[in-house]
Structure 1
Amino acid sequence: MHPRANTLGLVIKDNYILLEEKEGRHSKGIGYYYRPIGGTIELGERSDEALLREFNEEMGVEVMIVRYITCLENIFRIDDHIGHEITQIYEVDFKDKSLYEKEHFTVVEGDKVTYAKWVSKEEVVSGNKILYPNGLTDLLRLPSLLV
């Protein structure tokens, strides 16, 4: 098994971040957890291109890159399986500004359907919501990240 290269986009509205809500087994237990929209970078694809593609494929929306934030390396264990992700993190904006008024978004990944919603930064940094990848919560604690 090799590390997986992926890319995630932070869509920010006031003090809220658009996060996909998932339920199941994760590295901190079982239950609900959250992650930004994004996915795997395909061979020969740049991370910013992959991010635009993922938003279109998973949510049917167009976004534009605002800025590159950082790269996170996430090594985790779920049961006896070790996962390793190298994740490029971007801030993105919806091209269609009316999308900021929506409360929920349908996220389709193959035959799996989940939902994304606006989650307050405070819920995440306080630990009330479990956020992946590991290290992203620490980034959100930086006062300059959500300016």
Structure 2
Amino acid sequence: MAEHRIRALALCVFHHNGKILFNEFRDPVSQQTCFRPVGGGIEFGETSAETIVREVQEELGLSMTDMRLLGTLESLFVYNGKPGHEIVQVYDATFVDRSVYAHPQIEGHESNGAPFTARWHASSSFSELAPLVPKGLHALLKSAGLLA
């Protein structure tokens, strides 16, 4: 039996013209569509801010500036039929290359090489059936003035 553990994560929202960049994915068991910002696991000896810089560079090949911490969320969830527990540092930042904002999507690769597409979404894209994750992210972004 696998040991349950809490995972430390750092995610970054990039916003432009009322839209935020999200990776859309589907839970293989529940078939629920979810939206999550770019980011990943914090490695030992690495700060959450360093994680964001590394993950965005590794996944999207892009640099950023103007990083600011928006808040911390604790997420208890079930994904792929298995329980999960994450502590998530959520950041906001700006891409150095401003031309990125003109593209409707950005192609990326997970650390395991799996391709993904991050797209710009307005708050109308999300619902209870297709939520932002982790839980509490929508409220955090709303209170920061990034979502309507």
User: TM-score of the superposition, structure 1-length normalised?
Assistant: 0.88
CA distance in 1, matches of 2:16, 2:80: 35
Q: How does 1:34-113 map to 2 (within 5 A)?
A: 34-78=35-79, 81-109=82-110, 110-113=112-115
The reply on whether 1:22 has 2:25 as its aligned counterpart is: yes
Q: Name whichever of 70-79 and 37-46 sits farther off.
A: 70-79
What letter is aligned with 1:25? P
Q: CA offset at residue 63 of structure 1?
A: 1.2
Separation in structure 2 between the aligned mates of residue 95 and residue 111 of structure 1, nearest angstrom: 24
Question: Which residue is 2:139 aligned to?
Answer: 138
Displacement of 1:86 in angstroms is 0.4
Q: What displacement does 1:98 show?
A: 0.9
Q: Against the structure 1 CA distance between its residues 122 and 139, is the aligned structure 2 distance closer, same or farther, given a 3 Å change threshold? A: farther
Using the TM superposition, name which of 46-55 and 102-111 deviates more.
Answer: 102-111
Match of 1:117 in 2: 119
Aligned residue identity for 2:103: K
Distance 1:12 1:59 in 2: 16
Separation in 2 of the partners of 1:80 and 1:108?
24
Alpha-carbon separation, structure 2, partners of 1:79 and 1:16: 28
Report how far residue 54 of structure 1 moved.
Answer: 0.2
Among candidates 2, 5, 13, match of residue 2 of structure 1: 5
Give the C-alpha shift of residue 128 in structure 1.
Answer: 6.5
Structure 1: 5+ residue runs without aligned partners? none
Aligned equivalents of 1:93 and 1:46: distance in 2? 19
1:82 positional shift: 1.4
SS in 1 for 2:138: helix
Structure that is richer in strand per residue: 1
CA RMSD of aligned residues (A): 1.9
Unaligned runs of 5+ in 2: none
| Cα distance, 1:22 vs structure 2 | 1.4
- TM superposition shift of 1:89: 0.3
Partners of 1:131 and 1:84 lie apart in 2 by 16
Q: Does 1:11 align with 2:19?
A: no
